[in-house]
Structure 1
Amino acid sequence: MSLPELLAAFSLATDLGLGQPMEHLLRSWLIASRLGEHVGLSRQQQESLFYIAMLSWVGCVADAPEVAALFGDDVAFRADGYSVDLAGRSAVRFFAGHAGSGAPPSRRIVATASMIATGGRNVVRGMQSHCMTVSTMAQQLELAEPVGAGLQQFFTRWDGRGVPHGLGGNDIALPVRLFHLADVVEVHHRLGGVDGAVEVAGSRSGKQFDPAVVDAFCAIARDVLPDIETPIELSELVKDDPALRRVLTESELDGALESVADFTDLRSLYRAGHSRGVAELAAAAATALRLPTDRVREIRRAGMLHDIGLHGLPATVLDKPGRLTANEWERVRLSAYCTERVLARPPALARIGAVAALAHERMDGSGYHRGLSGSAIPIAGRILAAACVFRAATEERAHRRGRSSKDAIALVRAEVRAGRLDADAADAVLSAAGGGGKRRAGPAGLTPREIEVLQLIAHGSSAVDVASKLGIAKKTVGTHIERIYTKTGASSRSTATLFALRNGLLDPLDL
């Protein structure tokens, strides 16, 4: 797993928060990179350009609640921003026109008047916070200094009217100037073809964009604009670039996923630490259930990423204090689908994504996004669901206070009785949370050792293989198999495997 692959996946979630189709930022990077080759961008600058393109908009997650407070639906607000040159009178009209969006007319009038009277100080403050937040992520990922410096220039403009005010012209790093152009022309190319991309570049030349960069782009626009219908295969694009093949160790990957999780939780005022908490609780429960070490690690990583699809959910919905409308609830359900889609590439993340997307499924089929039930939900998904319910119950939300640990335990147990959570997974989670989960035998009274044997033979291991893997005698394995068949009513490996699947002892993703 390489860092560029991980950040490319994260950029797909960021695209959702910008109100753009997935791969917007990847296409923007490709445009900027191709243009960079034309204007003589060095190899080191090309490396910086990639990370700047993947991370520049990540800060919009951190200020989503503040943007929503000022302008309503933050996703729609950012999507609309691509159509306007945000400086001077056009910026005043844009911000004033969106102030208080979705609020009653009286509040909109007050919000608009305040925006005009303060000269948009809150907007400027938000831009500054955005840049500082995302440069912090660059430091956490141990990226080169030019990346962090470039990210702090994201809201600058060639004419010096951006943030920080007065910084413009050639003082803006060239990779940043290239991305400024590419980020906008990608949208206009998708909506208006090559002519639309060239037109918006020319109209903002000398204002938002470097005139020399604009001239270079307009001269070769058809060559640098990617095919809209062709998916971008990042691994193919960077395979010959050593600078973009930074392979992560297991510990580095965990650290990077923690950073992504922390930024995901920033979309809400109430969710700080939620993803980390779910991940650690689920991993502890998986360990208590004696799942293999690699499966425990996978569940922990899925816990870190289980809500990455929330990037496409407006903060006005995520932090709504009242009851959600049917349309808003459908957008919440869709977030689980987005989690799976965002993590579908590369292959190293696809399996984690498949598990992460199960966090909101329920045993009775009432969950989302697939509405799976019973044996169709693997044990990893059952654990993740129970951990998510418990952790969320203890956290404050816009519409309720956080519950005490005692009340959260009672809630989880009520969900088990109602048939929505798996009893064994819930008990393991509650035990890991210090809630004294009940000790129980496995399904049909199977012991932990018998479950281990059943899992191995279901995956095709012979008695000799089982004996070797578990460090026990072949005769002992035979005894375990006889007891398994007796307890489960199975008469063969295949019927025992079906029993294991129905009772969540096997992960369908492994079969």
Structure 2
Amino acid sequence: MPPAGSAPVTISVSELVGMLSLAADLGLGQPMEHLARSCLIATRFAGRIGLTGDDVATTYSLALLAWVGCTADSHETAARFGDDIALRAGVYDVEIGSPPMLAYLVRRAGAGGPVLHRARVAGELIGTGGRVVRDSLVAHCQVTGQLAVRLGLPERLRRCLTQTFTRWDGRGSPAGVGGSEIDVATRIVRLADVVEVHHRTGGVDAALEVTRRRRGSTLDPGIADAFARHGRAVLDGLPSESSWPDLLAADPAPRPLGGSSLDAGLEAVADFVDLKSPYFAGRSRGVADLAAAAARRAGLPPGDVLVVRRAGLLQGLGRSGVPNTIWDKPGPLTDIERERVELHSYYTDRMLRRVPALGAAATVAAMAHERCDGSGYHRGLTAASLPTTARLLGAADCYHAMTETRAHRRALEPGAAAVALRAEATAGRLDPAAVEAVLGSAGHPTRRPAAGPAGLTAREVQVLELLARAATTRRIGRELGISPKTAGNHIERIYAKIGASTRAGAALFAVQHGLLRTLEPLDG
């Protein structure tokens, strides 16, 4: 078996966007796979009414992508309406651009704030007819369009994204755009989005009823009438459990991403996820680059360096599931708020499990907040379960957070952050070698060379992993590009340092210190 991260990773654009849609689901106040199921509804319905080719392909991609911009203005939304996730969840009960929606927003205005703040926000909404909300919709469309450009998606899809909040009667955003000016893919996706929620919460009859009520206002009358005829068959055919396998199978034009194109896609996703709060701007990319530099400094092979960087780009996906009233809170968090913050790692894990091709990068990303003494989250793993890649990512994430400003504190100066990071290692929460590798990569003088436990060098850690998995000296040499004799010399030094004399003893040491990704024996 090759070292972790050495096998090429390829995923499709739909998997990448679908992964981001899972984050959007949480930001919309919906369960994961809301948008995946909406996409299946839209795509299958499009086929039922005779659409083919580019119409179906555009409908599919638009259904996954149209709502992922929902978290881009979460900071501003929370400042005006309180819990941004709760606000969006309630929008599905009213029509965008309707008097009931304005009334809903007025009721939510200034939620959680003092009376004067509530009155001021409500007065602004009424006086401007909800202008701040329209501005928010424009921001949503703009950032989603930028993501589409970065992913190289077609021009037609980008035009559809500008119509995300239009209404058939022209009373949506942009104002005056309505009727047949709206792309047929947009009209279908608007219907599918609301249908999925009402079907999930009230069944087929509720889904058909909401399309009847919104016929001619939000929804194209022809599309609504067609859904009245075909909707029951479309909804009855939805999978009862996860929609993910059906979603990927329904992709009418799969486009693979691998190598540098995959990294560019992950960078786009990371930048997009960081829009959740102004305090997170550039965070994922910064953590990823620092962790990768530390991995190189620690002597990890290129495949593991790539794993660490990709994990750094992915580790923030679950932040969309936590409201900005918590992320942007200017004071200390309550115990309940702290528990909600810790859930974001669990959400990240759940999202990434749907894209198994990401392999080790997904596994490591979900460990970003674990600590060697078991005090981290979300699983409470200890050192024995944390590979070197995860230890490096955890230390890089911690240092980067210390040097970033938050709503409740100023950023630490680099020197103070270095002291604080070493204190985490002294307390047993972070791995000392990982801390030194991170600090050295951040430009600090290191106290000792980054090394493994018992003074093992980076090369000796590599040899130990292969030895623990029953590799012969010949196989170790072949894997690492060294001679069998050199491999044997490394093994002798390893035994001397760790106080073992057998492969079993070496394997036990490696497991206890989190140096193995697997104990599966090597073939040959």
**TM-score strictly above 0.5:** yes
Counterpart CA distance in 2 for 1:462 and 1:379 is 23
Counterpart for residue 464 of structure 1: 474
Distance 1:238 1:327, change over 3 A: closer
Give 2:477's aligned amino acid: A
Alignment match of 1:280 (pick from 280, 289, 298): 289
Aligned to 1:230: 241
Alignment partner of 1:266: what SS? helix
Q: Deviations over 1:353-403 (max 9, x none)?
A: 221111111111111101111212111111111001111111111001111
Q: Work out whether residues 239 and 245 of structure 1, in 8 Å CA contact, stay in contact via their aligned partners in 2.
A: no
User: 1:231-260: CA deviations, max 9, x gaps?
Assistant: 1134x555475x531011211110110011
Q: Is the 8 A contact 2:85 2:323 kept in 1?
A: yes
Q: Deviations over 1:54-78 (max 9, x none)?
A: 1111211211111111111110100
Other-structure match for 2:3: none
Report deviation, 1:110: 2.0
Judged with a 3 Å threshold, the aligned counterparts in structure 2 of structure 1 residues 304 and 510 are, in CA distance, closer, same or farther, namely farther
What residue identity is the alignment partner of 2:238? Answer: D
Deviations 1:90-139 (CA, angstroms, capped at 9, x unpaired): 12211111111121233212211121012111111111111111101100
Match of 2:7 in 1: none
Q: CA deviation at 1:18?
A: 0.6
In the alignment, the residues of structure 2 paired with residue 309 and residue 140 of structure 1 have an alpha-carbon distance, to the nearest angstrom, of: 22
Q: In 2, distance between residues paired with 1:200 and 1:479?
A: 74
- 2:267 paired with 1:258: yes
1:45 aligns with 2:55: yes
Q: Are residue 98 (structure 1) and residue 108 (structure 2) matched?
A: yes
Q: Mapping of 1:303-452 within 5 angstroms?
A: 303-440=312-449, 441-452=451-462
1:145, CA displacement in angstroms?
0.2
Question: What percent of counterpart residues are identical?
Answer: 49
- Which residue number in structure 1 is paired with residue 41 of structure 2? 31
Q: Against the structure 1 CA distance between its residues 43 and 133, is the aligned structure 2 distance closer, same or farther, given a 3 Å change threshold? A: same
| Candidates 153, 166, 180, aligned match of 1:156 | 166
Shift of 1:504: 2.9
User: CA, structure 1 residues 118+397, in 2 after alignment: closer, same or farther (shift >3 Å)?
Assistant: same
- C-alpha contact 1:265 1:273 (8 A) present in aligned 2: yes
CA drift at 1:510: 7.2
Q: CA deviation at 1:88?
A: 3.2
Does 2:487 match 1:487? Answer: no
Partner SS state of residue 164, structure 2: coil
The one-letter amino acid of 1:411's match is A
Which one is further off, 224-233 or 501-510? 501-510
What amino acid sits opposite 1:254 in the alignment? D
SS at match of 2:280: coil
- Superposed, which structure 2 residues align to 1:100-139 within 5 Å? 100-139=110-149
Please say if residues 429 and 437 of structure 1, whose CA atoms lie closer than 8 Å, have aligned partners that are also in contact. no
2:36–2:244: 8 Å Cα contact kept in structure 1? Answer: no
Q: Is the 8 A contact 2:244 2:354 kept in 1?
A: no
Asked whether the equivalents of residues 310 and 335 of structure 1 are also in contact (C-alpha less than 8 Å), the reply is yes
Q: Deviations over 1:418-446 (max 9, x none)?
A: 11110001110111111122333432232
Count matched residues. Answer: 509
Q: What is the rounded CA distance, in whole Å, between the counterparts of 2:247 and 2:143 in structure 1? A: 29
Query: How much has 1:292 moved relative to structure 2?
Result: 1.9
Which one of 4, 15, 20 corresponds to residue 5 of structure 1? Answer: 15
Q: What letter matches 2:118 in structure 1?
A: R
Q: Which has the higher contact order (CA 8 A, sep 6+)?
A: 2
Q: 1:509 to 1:207 in 2, by over 3 A?
A: farther
Give SS of 2:263's match: helix
Q: 2:196 aligns with which of 171, 182, 186?
A: 186
